């Protein structure tokens, strides 16, 4: 199972900070690497460079990926390589002594491609490279290294043979067991010295752990497949097809084994020190990136108890984007979370008004209630219009008691308020729906009709009054 984000338990980690040992998801580190200075996201807590671990963290265990290895070898790049091997095998029958050069060139190309497969998969690139990717001028050097490894192994075996047959058998077993490790180390470090170092190979197997022995068993079985396959079909095909078919099958299964080696390195990518292929996210426009980054940073800093830094991050972005709904709400909730009574007393009405003006009265109502619950009393709101608007939102949320408190004495506290008719209508609804005080509702409705005969809400007042009148009339027997 992969690592999850330290702050979002339902999300896989994409980034890791070695400085403070925190794992971050895409919400914590928004945007693409191109959104960051020098394409380097940094930890908001310690400012260390973050390491991208997305590909390795999403990797399933090696033994669950059997189908992937064979599909990988059946993709365009590996099949092209296998086809070239088949054509080369067919051509060698007609080239005489020149066939030796064709054989060496083909082997060099196959070895280079397979080592490239290990390298690419280990870094997190799950798409097979093209044959052209392997034509980087390093085929001859790779071939020379592999031949060098074979010569060193053969030379050591020759010396051990002098110690007796038992010693030679032990050496042969050890050589077989460590061959996948040697190929992987050669692919990752490009060093024959590292690939033949017993300590290096032992260290590698210890890092991989017990799945390495499953890898050895799997690669041994797959590598032997062409040898078992050929006798089965030899009598069923023309003789001229056997060598090309053997070359094709051998190349195909060699890519399968290389894919196994590369993928097992992917599952231990961080422990092996492999440079990861970036598991990048969508590039964000500057304004949206700044917004998401501020929200993410503030959330992390708040969780870590660094309240002043979290507040500073939000204040800075709010100066640039004062009308962003999420930023205003997050800032208000930060004030609640830090229990900053002075700031809430001074800023709460302003922030609530801003949310209402941004057509978010329901959010303003939620924050109003949250403040009342936490502080023991709601924020003091002096503006009559704002009190009225929040009361309407509370009424729609069936929060009748706080809605009543906001508008009950509005006519006394602000007799010049221009929307008293609408406020009286709202008060009538609150009494009717929230407290079943229809007598109060009728009085208020009658007062509105008398005091504001030309009101814009007069029709709604009359409809509500007729409903109350119908409810009051006795039903016929």
| Percent of the chain topping pLDDT 90 | 50
DSSP track, 247-308: HHHHHHHHHHHHHHHHHHHHTTHHHHTPPPPP-------HHHHHHHHHHHHHHHHHHTT-HH
pLDDT at residue 53 is higher than 90: no
Per-residue DSSP letter, 23: E
User: Cα separation of 328 and 60, whole Å?
Assistant: 40
The residues that bridge with 15 in the sheet, in sequence order, are: 24, 52
Average pLDDT, the chain: 88
**For residue 45, which of 9, 14, 6 has the smallest C-alpha distance?**
6
Comparing 236-245, 340-349, 370-379, which segment has the lowest mean pLDDT? 236-245
CB 106 within 8 A of CB 85: yes
CA separation for the pair 259, 129 (Å, rounded): 11
Q: What is the mean pLDDT of residues 101-119?
A: 88
pLDDT level of residue 1 (50, 70, 90 thresholds)? very low
pLDDT at residue 263 tops 80:
yes
Contact 384, 413 (CB under 8 A): yes
Given a cut of 50, whether residue 339 has pLDDT beyond it is: yes
211-248, pLDDT tens digit by residue? 999 999 999 999 888 888 777 776 777 766 788 888 89
Q: What is the pLDDT of residue 395?
A: 96
Compute the average pLDDT of residues 320-331.
94
pLDDT at 473: 61
Report percent pLDDT > 70 for the chain.
95
| Region 370-388 average pLDDT | 92
What pLDDT, on a 0 to 100 scale, did the predictor assign at position 89?
85
pLDDT in tens, 184-217: 998 888 888 888 888 989 888 998 889 999 999 9
**Continuous H helices in 381-437:** 384-396, 400-407, 410-413, 420-435
- Mention every residue, 6+ apart, whose C-beta is less than 8 A from residue 236: none
Encode pLDDT of 67-96 as tens digits: 999 999 999 999 999 999 988 888 876 666
pLDDT at residue 474 greater than cutoff 60: no
* For residues 316-321, average pLDDT: 94
Banded model confidence at residue 278, pLDDT cuts 50, 70, 90: low
Whether the pLDDT of residue 335 is over 90: the answer is yes
Of 223-232, 352-361, 407-416, give the range with the top mean pLDDT.
352-361
The larger pLDDT score, comparing residue 157 to residue 25, is at 25
Domain extents in the chain: 1-59, 64-266, 286-380, 408-477
Tell me the average pLDDT across 117-143.
84
SS3 state of residue 238: coil
Cα separation, 179 vs 185, in Å, equals: 10
379/386 Cα distance (integer angstroms): 12
Q: Which two tokens stand for residue 124?
A: 């997190």
CATH class of 286-380: mainly alpha
Tokens of 119: 């390298």
Please tell me the pTM assigned to this model: 0.66
CA distance 308 to 318: 15
Quick one: average pLDDT of 261-279?
78
- State residue 298 phi and psi, 5-degree precision: -65, -40
Per-residue pLDDT band for 62 (boundaries 50, 70, 90) equals confident
Q: Please give the helix or strand (H or E) that residue 432 lies within, else none.
A: helix 420-435
β-bridge mates for residue 42, sequence order: 49
Using alpha carbons only, give the angle 233, 237, 242 rounded to the nearest 5 degrees.
80
């Amino acid at each position: 199972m992969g690592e999850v984000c330290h702050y979002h338990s339902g999300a896989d980690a994409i980034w890791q900070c070695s400085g403070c040992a925190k794992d971050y998801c895409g919400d914590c580190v928004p945007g693409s690497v191109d959104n960051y200075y020098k394409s380097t996201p940094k930890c908001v807590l310690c400012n260390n460079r973050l390491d991208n671990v997305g590909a390795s963290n999403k990797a399933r265990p090696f033994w669950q990926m059997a189908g992937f290895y064979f599909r990988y070898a059946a993709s365009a790049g590996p099949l092209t390589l296998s086809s070239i091997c088949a054509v080369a095998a067919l051509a060698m029958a007609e080239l005489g002594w020149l066939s030796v050069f064709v054989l060496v060139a083909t082997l060099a190309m196959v070895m280079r491609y397979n080592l490239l497969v290990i390298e690419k998969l280990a870094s997190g690139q799950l798409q097979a490279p093209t044959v052209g990717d392997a034509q980087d001028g390093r085929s001859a050097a790779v071939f020379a290294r592999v031949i060098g490894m074979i010569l060193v192994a053969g030379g050591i075996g020759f010396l051990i043979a002098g110690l007796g047959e038992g010693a030679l058998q032990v050496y042969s077993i050890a050589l077989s067991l460590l061959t996948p490790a040697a190929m992987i180390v050669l692919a990752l470090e490009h060093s024959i010295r590292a690939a033949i170092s017993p300590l290096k190979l032992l260290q590698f197997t210890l890092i991989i752990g017990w799945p390495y022995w499953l890898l050895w068993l799997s690669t041994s079985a797959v590598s032997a497949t062409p040898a078992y396959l050929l006798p089965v079909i030899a009598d069923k095909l023309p003789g001229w097809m056997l060598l090309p078919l053997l070359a094709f099958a051998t190349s195909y299964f060699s890519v399968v084994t290389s894919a196994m080696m590369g993928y097992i390195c992917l599952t231990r990518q961080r422990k092996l020190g492999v440079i990861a292929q970036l598991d990048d996210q969508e590039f964000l426009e500057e304004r949206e990136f700044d917004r998401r980054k501020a929200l993410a940073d503030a959330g992390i800093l708040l969780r870590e108890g660094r309240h002043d830094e979290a507040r500073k991050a939000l204040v800075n972005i709010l100066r640039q984007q004062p009308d962003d709904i999420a930023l205003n709400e997050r800032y208000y909730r930060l004030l609640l979370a830090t229990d900053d009574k002075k700031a809430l007393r001074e800023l709460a009405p302003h922030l609530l008004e801003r949310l209402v003006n941004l057509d978010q009265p329901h959010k303003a109502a939620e924050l109003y209630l949250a403040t009342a619950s936490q502080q023991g009393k709601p924020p003091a709101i002096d503006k009559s219009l704002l009190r009225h608007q929040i009361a309407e939102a509370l009424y729609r949320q069936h929060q009748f008691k706080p809605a009543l408190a906001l508008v009950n004495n509005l006519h006394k506290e602000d007799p010049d308020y221009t929307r008293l008719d609408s406020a009286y209508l709202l008060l009538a609804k609150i009494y009717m729906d929230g407290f079943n005080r229809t007598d109060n509702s009728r009085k208020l409705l009658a007062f509105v009709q008398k005091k504001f005969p030309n009101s814009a809400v007069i029709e709604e007042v009359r409809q509500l009054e007729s409903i109350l009148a119908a409810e009051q009339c006795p039903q016929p027997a």
